[in-house]
Structure 1
Amino acid sequence: MKEQFNEALGNLIEKLQGWFNTTIEYIPNFILAILVMVAAFFAARYISKIVGKLVSKKIEQDSIKNAIARVSAVVVVALGLFIALGVMNLGKALTSLLAGAGVVGLAIGLALQGTLANTFAGLILSFRKKIRIGDWVETTGYSGEVMDINLKDFTLKESDNNIVVIPNKTILDNPLKNYSLTTKMRVFLECGVGYESDLEKVEQLTKEVIANTFDQVEKPEDVEFYYTEFGGSSINYLCRFWIDAESMLEKLKAKTKAIIEIKKAYDKEDINVPFPIRTLQFDNQLNIETPNNKGDFNKN
């Protein structure tokens, strides 16, 4: 019994000595690993600030700018962790960590597929030069001013002051019309005049009214005017001209102003803008027949 105890005690002392020697041997590596992690931490903070400043020159959205800065900091810290594990000769631990990270990343990717798709779509939209906050755009049946682009959704404010929130992935997968990319918009105006009207006079008068109403139209010849059809109660025309505008709201205001001024000019010149009229004409006399007691009809 005493011999077994002495043997066990000897094995324990031998183990402790081995651990002590290993600890002494790895103290420099351990200290170096700690220094690597501390350096990685401060480097991550510094790089995060630099990335944030660089990204702010390209992206206006604070949410996406902060997200990119944080991702860069995480990458630097992760790189420092891998270097520290390598310094401590923990190759197996490093391999296991990478394998575990891969499995966890795959599981998270499958579970958050839609969220990640919106996140990456938000990053792509933020770097697009043709879409900026304040632009007037039209997409997926909605039209309005771009209020925000974040990692989740795309926010529009319509002309009636309603807010529309659209997932980023939907914006990226569908056509988008940006009215703010150009400083000019074309106004389309359709109307009709009576058949008794002098068509040449109507054309000239309409062009002059548009040219006198809008400073962007220098002369009447810049206004496009086309008669389009013989309508049911009027001869219809299409009038087109350019204005300086970057939103649909400005375009609607210009169209409203044009209609008001054209109506005033037509009233002054006695030009009729007819509305549909239905005329019922009875050329034949109506016979009223009443049945008699025998079942036949008598004409009155």
Structure 2
Amino acid sequence: MFNNFNFDDALQKVLDKLMGWGESIILKTPNFFLAILTFVVFWYAGKHISRFIKNYLLKKVGQESIKSVIGRTSFIVIVLIGFFSALAILDLDKVLTSVLAGAGVVGLAIGLALQGTLHNTFSGFILSFLPNIRIGDWIITNGHEGKVVDINLRSVTIIEADNNAVVIPNSKLIDAPFKNFSNSSRSRITVSCGVGYESDLEFVKKITTEAIAGIFKQLPNEEIEFFYTEFGDSSIGYIIRFWTDVRGRLEILDAQSNGILAIKKAYNENNINIPFPIRTLDFGKNKFRSETISIKNLEE
């Protein structure tokens, strides 16, 4: 076996193979540098095009999250085009096919492993294009209330009234209802109160409505609504509802406070009583009487 082995022929074959590789490398060198140059050009083009889209094409879009999502997506798409163009320049068609096949398998595995994260990502993409929630809005959702300060592909961040930040996953916001106080410029405010049983209810309604109308202007198709609601233990309860400009919890509390001040001032000027609860205690007079009789019998 070893006698038939020709070392010179084997060495020549190796040298021929190396020479072929060397010639191939020399021939492919221009394409290699061209491929690198192409990828770099696409990389910088992606950055500039992304910035151009965010700052100019989407200049009139008020939602910052929309600008961010579109900018990042355009950058990734342009970079991927540059990557595949570089592979094509190097005549790596088989490698390109393998990369695409491997990307599909890896993408499937990653998708199964990161279902929750991908859910948040797609939810964030949806939230970015929803007009119902924007940065700066005051919302209530998932037991939290505050001002929206950030919307990204993972979560929504709100600042509560105590100045603490709450990060809510996008999937939670998509799957749960939320209330947006900033969706409209005007809202209806409700104030509850009660007056004594001796009061003239028609007069109370007139005075209360006039007090609210004096500080809160109602627009066309808006009106102040007054309803008596119950016969309470010590008063007759009512609610009054009116419209005003509010876009958050602070404005709502301020409107309710001003309404209460106006109602109390009007009641003071017209001697209308707002009674406080009264409780009558029964100390058991019969029991005291029997005990008194017993004491008298003992003294005799």
TM-score over 0.5 (shorter chain):
yes
Task: For residue 55 of structure 1, report the CA deviation from its aligned partner.
Answer: 4.7
What's the counterpart of residue 150 of structure 1? 152
CA 1:162 to 1:31, structure 2 compared with 1: closer, same or farther past 3 Å?
closer
Q: Percentage identity across aligned positions?
A: 51
CA distance in 1, matches of 2:135, 2:252: 20
Partner of 1:287: 290
Equivalent in 124, 132, 136 of residue 126 of structure 2: 124
- Gap regions ≥5 residues in structure 2: none
- Within 5 A, what are the aligned runs for 1:184-203? 184-203=186-205
Is residue 223 of structure 1 aligned with residue 224 of structure 2? yes
Where 1:246 maps in the other structure, the secondary structure is coil
Aligned residue identity for 2:139: V
Tell me which residue corresponds to 2:82.
Answer: 80
| 1:34-93 Cα distance to aligned partner (Å, 9 max, x none) | 45434433433343333333356436447x745653443333232233233234332322
- Once the two structures are superposed, what CA deviation does each residue of 1:79-136 show, in whole Å capped at 9, x if it has no partner? 2332332343323222222222223323333333333322332232222222111112
SS in structure 1 opposite 2:133?
A: coil
Conserved? CA contact 1:180–1:246, under 8 Å: yes
Indicate if the aligned counterparts of 1:144 and 1:157 stay in contact, CA closer than 8 A. yes
Is the CA contact 2:69–2:125 (under 8 Å) kept in the aligned structure 1?
A: no
TM-score, normalisation: structure 2: 0.81
Gap change, CA 1:234 and 1:34, over 3 Å in 2? closer
Q: Is the 8 Å Cα contact of residues 191 and 238 (structure 1) preserved in structure 2?
A: yes
1:294 counterpart residue number: none
1:146-195 C-alpha deviation (Å, 9 max, x unpaired): 12222332122223333322122211111122111211111111111111
The one-letter code sitting in structure 2 at the alignment partner of 1:264 is: K
Of residues 21-30 and 236-245 in structure 1, the stretch that sits farther from structure 2 once superposed is: 21-30
Deviations 1:243-276 (CA, angstroms, capped at 9, x unpaired): 1211121111111111122122222322211122
Amino acid at match of 1:143: E
- Give the drift of 1:287: 2.5
Measure the CA separation in 1 of the matches of 2:262 and 2:94: 82
Shift of 1:32: 5.2
Pairwise CA RMSD: 3.3
Q: Whole-Å Cα distance in 1 between the matches of residues 227 and 252 of structure 2? A: 20
Q: 2:172 aligns with which of 165, 170, 183?
A: 170
SS in 2 for 1:14: helix
DSSP 3-state at the match of 2:290 = coil
Provide the residue aligned with 1:181 in structure 2. 183
Q: Distance in 1 between matches of 2:40 and 2:274?
A: 81
Match of 2:264 in 1: 263
Q: Is the contact made by 2:61 and 2:67 (CA closer than 8 Å) also made in structure 1?
A: no
Equivalent-residue separation in structure 2 for 1:82 and 1:218 (angstroms): 61
After the TM superposition, which residues 87-126 of structure 1 pair with which residues of structure 2 at under 5 Å, given as runs? 87-126=89-128
Between the aligned partners of 1:264 and 1:45, the Cα distance in structure 2 is 63
In 1, the alpha carbon distance for the partners of 2:67 and 2:4 equals 71
The answer as to whether partners of 1:44 and 1:72 remain within 8 angstroms in 2 is: yes
Question: 1:241 deviation in Å?
Answer: 1.0
Query: How many residue pairs end up in the alignment?
Result: 291
Normalised by the length of structure 1, the TM-score is 0.81
Unaligned stretches of 5+ in structure 1? 291-297
**How far, CA to CA, are the matches of 2:104 and 2:238 in structure 1?**
66
The equivalent residue for 2:61 is 58
| CA distance in 2 between partners of 1:55 and 1:171 (Å) | 25
Which residue of the partner structure matches residue 137 of structure 2?
Answer: 135
Q: What residue number does 2:50 align with?
A: 48
The alignment status of 1:7 with 2:9, answered yes or no, reads: yes
Specify whether residues 59 and 150 from structure 1 end up closer, same or farther in structure 2 by C-alpha distance, changes over 3 A only: farther
Amino acid at match of 1:45: K
Change (3 A) 1:37 1:160: closer
What code does the residue aligned with 1:69 have? Answer: G
Q: 1:257 corresponds to which letter in structure 2?
A: N
SS in 2 for 1:237: strand
Question: Hey, what's the Cα distance between the residues in 2 that align with 1:45 and 1:161?
Answer: 35
The structure-2 alpha-carbon separation of the partners of 1:199 and 1:80, relative to structure 1 and needing over 3 Å to count, comes to: same
- Maintained 8 Å contact 1:210/1:217: no
Give SS of 1:40's match. Answer: helix
Q: Residue type matched to 1:112 in 2?
A: L
Partner Cα separation in structure 2 for residue 19 and residue 279 of structure 1: 107
